[in-house]
């Protein structure tokens, strides 16, 4: 179970890094917001879901 938490946290860190780099690049590029809006919203939703799942799995271990 601890390995599952570690993998979830690793995924959370990787996704957070991708979003921290990707969102400002998309917002700074002219015309890219309209093309990438769905991808940004999907990434944000995935990040939120990953935070909730990680917290639920962590509460089962402790």
Geometric angle at alpha carbon 26, from 24 and 20, rounded to 5°: 35
- Asked if the structure places residue 25 within a domain, the reply is no
| pLDDT attached to residue 61 | 86
- Asked if the structure places residue 57 within a domain, the reply is yes
Does residue 62 have a pLDDT over 80? no
- Asked if the structure places residue 16 within a domain, the reply is no
Does residue 6 have a pLDDT over 90? yes
- State pLDDT tens for residues 8-60: 999 999 999 999 999 999 999 998 888 999 999 999 999 999 999 999 999 99
Length in residues, the chain: 62
Q: Which pTM does this prediction carry?
A: 0.87
- Asked if the structure places residue 52 within a domain, the reply is yes
- Asked if the structure places residue 58 within a domain, the reply is yes
Residue 45, token pair as written in the block:
């939703």
The total of structural domains in the chain comes to 1
Domain that holds residue 43: 35-62
């Amino acid at each position: 179970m601890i390995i599952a938490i570690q993998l979830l946290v690793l995924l959370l860190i990787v996704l957070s890094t991708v979003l921290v780099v990707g969102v400002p690049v998309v917002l700074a590029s002219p015309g890219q917001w309209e093309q990438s809006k769905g991808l940004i919203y999907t990434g944000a939703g995935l990040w939120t879901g990953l935070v909730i799942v990680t917290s639920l799995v962590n509460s089962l271990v402790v």
